[in-house]
Structure 1
Amino acid sequence: MKLYLPDEQAMTDFGGQLAQAIDAGAVIFLLGDLGMGKTTLSRGVLRGCGHTGSVKSPTYTLVEPYETPAGTVYHFDLYRLADPEELEYLGIRDYFTDDALCLVEWPEKGQGMLPVPDLEIRLSLSGEGRQLALLTNTQKGQQLVDNLTKRTDQACGGQ
């Protein structure tokens, strides 16, 4: 599935739609260069889960937990990770439970230590906006995209 999002507001809105499409926890990898909107997308997901406070990028803490009305969300930013083994000290396996939503920016930095994602979202520059390519890796990921597609179709009047 590919989407074009023209601006930051569209990215935030899409994040909210994505949050509403999740039935239970999921692991979502966010891939793309610096400045592509990974944190903006994460902010939209958190808002869609009912979080009303600020959302900061966990660049220095590596993970920021959020308790939302929709459940626990862990927002990871592995950009500054020097070695995937460092994730072992963080207790990485404890975060990836069936009912937690895990958003992982820069997952390639944690290669070998992270579970298979349900969904990968690759963000790239496209004119003034962003192109999003969604790739499912599990049945849960496929269900999420199916739910998202239904929501998008309904929002567009079924077109």
Structure 2
Amino acid sequence: MSPIIRLNEEQDTLNLGKQLALGCLDYLNHHNGPIIIYLEGTLGAGKTTLSRGFLQTLGHKGNVKSPTYTLVEPYDFNDFSVYHFDLYRLVDPEELEFMGIRDYFAKRCICLVEWPSQAIEILPDADIKIQLSYENLARNVIIDALSDKGQSIIAHKIVDD
């Protein structure tokens, strides 16, 4: 089992997002294809905060909000895109087929997927799964690499710092 990482304040969650982004950037400098990251946890556990730290590290200057009603928010960078999905309000996984979900995962991109359990039968397998949970006022995080790609990414930055 992966070790539990304790995040005592919001800045710790932003920093974890930063470390994850740096690992993904390093991977994309040497490889093509999508990186798929599942973000799991209850409402308010820090999924969107982690995503904000991730996107700001890549250079995004605006707000980062959870795309709860639009399902996906695209962010374009120099030679890749990040797609931030929030599937919390998804009623029927078939809705994703109608929006062309498979096209998002067929590019050189990073996909951050909040609430993947809402459409697990349609989504591709994750490279990294991040589980966030509360413990008093802090957060506990478990990061699992689910592929060789995921292992390469988390070995780069996440565990070292």
Would you say same fold, with TM above 0.5?
A: yes
Cα pair distance change 1:11/1:69, threshold 3 Å: farther
Q: Matched residue of 1:88: which SS?
A: helix
d(CA) in 2 for partners of 1:126, 1:44: 21
- Cα 1:151–1:53, aligned 2, differ >3 Å: closer, same or farther? farther
**CA distance 1:51–1:69, shift in 2 (3 Å):** farther
Which of 34, 39, 53 aligns to 2:48? It is 39
CA shift digits 1:103-147 (9 cap, x unpaired): 000000012100000000000012211000011111000111111
Q: Distance in 1 between matches of 2:160 and 2:111?
A: 21
State the 1:61 CA deviation. 0.2
Tell me the equivalent position of 1:112. Answer: 121
Structure 2 unaligned spans of 5+: 29-33
Write out aligned runs for 1:28-107 (5 A).
Answer: 28-69=37-78, 71-107=80-116
Task: State whether residues 30 and 103 of structure 1, in contact with CA within 8 Å, keep that contact through their aligned partners in structure 2.
Answer: yes
Aligned residue pairs total 152
The share of aligned pairs that are identical, in percent, is 48
Q: Which runs of 4+ in 1 moved over 4 A?
A: none
Q: Is the contact between residue 18 and residue 57 of structure 2 (CA under 8 Å) also seen in structure 1? A: yes
> In structure 1, how many angstroms separate the alpha carbons of the residues matched to 2:133 and 2:84?
20
Decide whether the 8 Å contact of 1:21 with 1:148 is kept in 2. Answer: yes
List per-residue Cα deviations over 1:51-77 (Å, max 9, x = no partner): 111111100000000012473100000
SS in 1 for 2:59: coil
Q: Which residue of 1 aligns with 2:20?
A: 18
Distance 2:110 2:125 in 1: 14
State the superposition RMSD in angstroms: 1.4
CA distance in 2, matches of 1:150, 1:33: 24
